[in-house]
Structure 1
Amino acid sequence: MLGLQYFSFSDVWSPVLMSFMLLITAGYFLIVGPLSERFPHSEPTSAGRKVMFVAGMFLMHLAQGGPVNLLGHTMFSFHMLSMALSYIVAPPLLMLGIPPWIWRSFVRFFERTPLKKLKFMVHPVVSAVLFNGLFSIYHLPVVHDYVMLNFGVHRLYYLVLFIAAVLMWWTFVSPIPERATPQGLKKLGFIYLNMVLLTPACGLIIFASEPLYATYSDPNIWAQAMGYCVPGGDPAALLSQFGGPEFFGFLETRVDQQVGGILMKFIQELIFASMLAYVFFQWYRQENKEDAEDELIADVPPHELNQA
């Protein structure tokens, strides 16, 4: 059980956050269901979109308020799994789960506010650099340990990172079909750019010759950070009961750190490589279709074209 048996249901599942997530999900079903008629330009929402939204919400809670979140405070590998679920897997599911007519309403509202000046942040290169830069900075040891030891900064940083992830995914998900997003080779290039930008941070973690993060190697700092994760957690009591993070880990600290870096890079590579293949074949099919249409037109006698 990886030590979960030592914690209460409240510690493992964070009922307050769970209630908040359930409220958002209930609001979603009301808006796309009975209340949709009150919104102009609303359209029926498919079952597939609803399933993707629920899956995204479940994974977000699992990573930020469920067992993966708790285990992420005891083992670095689970921390990286939490990051991957929160920013690589869940955002596109949530974005695809929200129907285009809701996104159109949101964008129209956004464009009437001063925030429209930040529109440039949706540009594929800007959003890629922003997200991967924030992710990489966060995993600098001094930054990571500071964020983990300051609850307010921790929540704010994670919120900003989630927004940056949504901006990054906007190019690939295209939640509003009629809004132009890069296609073909350009889209392939932006996918590859994201794959490359995350490599230095993962490389630093994977090839480090010693443990980088005091949160997972110093019992006192671990107990302080763990105190924020467990409701009412007393660092002294946690330290007395468990002694430190090594109580839970079945891997040596440096190995656990390496596994975390590999896990994050593997999940990112798997998802983005799948996207590369999908976009490439879509582009290849479109190019062949256009070539076939050109050949068909070329075979039609000129007098028939004139008659048409």
Structure 2
Amino acid sequence: MLGLQYFSFEELWTPWFLFGMAAIVILYFYVIGPWREKHAPDEPKVTLLQKTMFVGAAVLFYLVQGGPLSLLGHVMFTFHMVNMSVSYLIVPPMLLYSIPSYVWRRVFSHAWWQKLRFLMNPISTLVLFNLLFSIYHIPVVHDYVMTHFALHRFYYSVLFVTALMMWWQIVCPVQEWNRLTDLKKMAYVFANGVLLTPACALIIFASTPMYAIYSDPQVWVQAMGYCVSGDPSRLLDMFEGPQFFNLMEATEDQQLGGIVMKLVQELMYGIILSYIFFHWFRREHKDDELPNTNTGTV
């Protein structure tokens, strides 16, 4: 049970967050259903796969940001990296794919969005996401963010937006807004993998615990104050610290977390690269597949 039995239902499942995600799912089905029929009847219906992807993204995001995995991310670094992987490498492309193009066109149709167009430059989005992600995993930054709730929510929100901006270049849901060719997309995905590697390597090959939140009981209790009700110091009377929940040493947990992050990154980027490559290959060889219609004689 990983110690989850010691926490209440509210602490594990965060009902207010659950209701919020449920409301977003309901809004999604309203937009692709009654709203589309009234305001965009000529637009194609959303496919079953798109609906499944959106609901799946909502469920995953809830589990890692408001469900049990979120709490576990405060006691084990491995779960923290699982949460980061799901939040920024898996959920964003699922959302971009699942939301139909006419919604994106309607949302970004206002002229004032043009003033922020420079932020969507592929190089800017590439550097911005990976820079923010890497800075976050500098030990002093990570511990400070994790122990200051308002900053924690703000940083996570900004990181999620920049993840969407980065993934937009790869799985752009609006065809006419697509800036990159398939070959450039493959290079873009490869560059993402390269830029994310130093942060993962630093974590994987560290020989000592880097993050106080997973090794110092006092810092851990301060961070847990945002997950549990009442005085979080009571946790020290019940447990000796985060080590109570972890079968591994802090360094081993830290290394496993880095490995998990790198593996998920490689898996996602590998899948995306394969899809882009086969899409490019089929398009480039489409003419070769056409039957020879030249029936003339020489």
Superposed counterparts of 1:66-81, under 5 Å? 66-81=67-82
Partner SS state of residue 234, structure 1: coil
% identical equivalent positions:
49
Q: Which is worse superposed, 29-38 or 187-196?
A: 29-38
TM-score, normalised to structure 1's length?
A: 0.91
In the comparison of the two structures, how many residue pairs are matched?
297
Structure 2 equivalent of residue 139 of structure 1: 137
Q: Which residue of 2 aligns with 1:174?
A: 172
Q: State the partner residue of 2:196.
A: 198
Deviates more, 1:28-37 or 1:59-68: 28-37
Deviation at 1:33, TM superposition (A): 1.3
Following superposition of structure 1 onto structure 2, how do residues 86-105 of structure 1 map, counting pairs within 5 Å?
A: 86-105=87-106
Task: Please give the residue correspondences for 1:250-269 in structure 2 after superposition, counting only pairs within 5 Å.
Answer: 250-269=247-266
Per the TM alignment, residue 184 of structure 1 is displaced from its structure 2 partner at its CA by 2.6
Unaligned ranges ≥5, structure 2: none
**Per-residue deviation, residues 79-131 of structure 1 (Å, max 9, x unmatched):** 0000001111111111111111101111213xx22x42221222222111111
Q: Deviations over 1:203-232 (max 9, x none)?
A: 1100111000000000000001011122x2
Describe how 1:104-119 pairs up with structure 2 within 5 A.
Answer: 104-109=105-110, 112-113=111-112, 115-119=113-117
Displacement after TM superposition at 1:174 (Å): 1.4
Q: Deviations over 1:169-225 (max 9, x none)?
A: 101111112323312321110010011110000011001110000000000000010
Q: Which residue of 2 aligns with 1:306?
A: none
1:1-308 matches, within 5 Å, as 1-40=1-40, 42-109=43-110, 112-113=111-112, 115-230=113-228, 232-290=229-287
Structure 1: how far apart are the matches of 2:149 and 2:233?
18
State whether residues 169 and 178 of structure 2, in contact with CA within 8 Å, keep that contact through their aligned partners in structure 1.
Answer: no
The 4+ residue runs of structure 1 with deviation greater than 6 A are 299-303
CA distance in 2, matches of 1:184, 1:47: 26
- Maintained 8 Å contact 2:122/2:166: yes
The letter of the residue matching 2:274 is: A
Aligned-pair Cα RMSD in Å = 1.9
TM-score normalised by structure 2 residue count: 0.94
Q: Which amino acid aligns with 1:90?
A: V
**CA shift for structure 1 position 243:** 1.7
Return 5+ residue gaps in structure 1 as ranges: 304-308
